Amino acid sequence: MVPKLRIAVVGGGIGGLAAALALTRKGHEVGVYEQAPELREAGVGMHLGPNGSRLLERWGLGERLRALGVRPAGMEVRDWSHGGTLVRQPMGEEWLAEFGAPYYTIHRADLHTMLAESLPSGTVRAGHRLERFTETEDGVRLEFAGGSTAGADVLIGADGAHSVVRRTLAGPDTAVFSGQSAFRGVVARDQVPGLPGDTLLVWAGPDARMLVYPVRGGRFLTFVAVVPDPRWRLESWSAPGDLDELAARFDGWNTDVKSLVAAVRESRRWALYDREPLARWSEGAVTLLGDAAHPMLPHHGQGVSQAVEDAAVLAHCLDATTGRDSSAAASASSASASASSASASAARRAIAAALDTYEDVRRPHTTRVQLGSRGGGSQRLRPDEDGAESTGTMSSLVEDVSWIQRHDAEAGLPPLPPPSPSATP
């Protein structure tokens, strides 16, 4: 089958790879341009909600998710001082029945590798740092550091919170600082045998919160320690965290937390920022996806799932730009000069309309998730709650995100037009 569109994805993170997979499954010719010299994902564990996992399962990744991810059996809120369990929320099969797809915790590198290995060989081009792009009559021209160039019918900016593509489309923005930063890392569970390998744990203290969850079959635990600190403002995923400061922050806490902190050998620290929602994501043949479109705080655990939803909707909308089996752009390249110009113009209008539809579907939803993350999640737990109060708070926390996790991004999408009469099966 002739590829429908040539699509350039800038950014080889999870969002960019998810977009590439969704689009290649539709038959498009996709190139992923990653600025790092080699494709790899750092970081620790992450949450993959049912709204994200249901899409990955449809893309054929269910077996690998089950092999590499953990489906937590439950979530517990524990007392920060004595360590006792205040409330437990069952997950596992109950959440599968409730939301229609599994909830996973998974190491970022495992999901990143899974997506990368699902793409055709040669899709990812490392060592390509985008400097600028321009729209032409033939599509979009990308210019990279070092002088190399590329052309595409569509450009997708999946280049994260510091997106070059977003800055070009929307101008400079101001990062919104939450007043908090987070230490994060991974600890082998055999170093903290008192902690379970199948449970999400939350301790809410008077001036910090500790969240712990299993990855890699429960053999490792990811920790995220959120602390208030107006002075730490470095928005970086790779800045080292001071282990002495981490220990001092949790001095006086319960034995389990102190044992966990004592087992940490390496930590990263990042200041928690987001951005105000954009009024527009798209212009012409260029659009945004994932953190480039809607960088959000981590308190709903939805960054990756929202990017996967973006990818699914974008692939559907771009599928509507052509007949099901051939691209307007490909047809234009083989026609006479005058017919080619008219066909190319029609193709550009179809692409712009498809990106407008994508934005119309996704932007209201992600804006609600993005703004809700500012005050949501474990931030609402108070250290002075007793068991009954914690039960009420836990129920409200689950209800806060149930609409997000129940969401099926592919349900109710605009129908594709019928194949063009001139399309060749």
pTM of the model: 0.92
Instruction: For residue 261, name the pLDDT band (cuts at 50, 70, 90).
Output: very high
Specify the range with the lowest mean pLDDT, choosing from 162-176, 283-297, 335-349. Answer: 335-349
Residue 100 has a pLDDT of: 97
DSSP per residue, 141-204: EEEETTS-EEEESEEEE---TT-HHHHHHH-----EEEEEEEEEEEEEGGGSTTS-SSEEEEEE
Q: Is residue 311 pLDDT above 50, yes or no?
A: yes
**Token pair belonging to 100:** 């229609």
Q: What are the residue numbers of the active site? A: 213
| pLDDT tens sequence across 64-89 | 999 999 999 999 999 999 999 999 99
Closest among 10, 22, 23, 103 to 65, alpha carbons compared: 103
Q: Are 258 and 243 in contact (CB under 8 A)?
A: no
* Residue 328 pLDDT exceeds 70: no
Whether the per-residue pLDDT at 237 is higher than 90: the answer is no
Choice among 105-114, 177-186, 390-399 with the minimum mean pLDDT:
390-399
Neighbours of 379 (CB within 10 A): 17
Give residue 423's pLDDT band: very low, low, confident or very high (50, 70, 90). very low
- The helix-helix angle for 337-372 and 303-319 (nearest 10°) equals 150
Question: How much is the average pLDDT of 111-131?
Answer: 97
Answer whether residue 378 shows pLDDT above 90: no
DSSP 277: P
Query: With 90 as the cut, is the pLDDT of residue 103 above it?
Result: yes
Of 138 and 306, more confident: 306
Element (H, E) at 260: helix 255-263
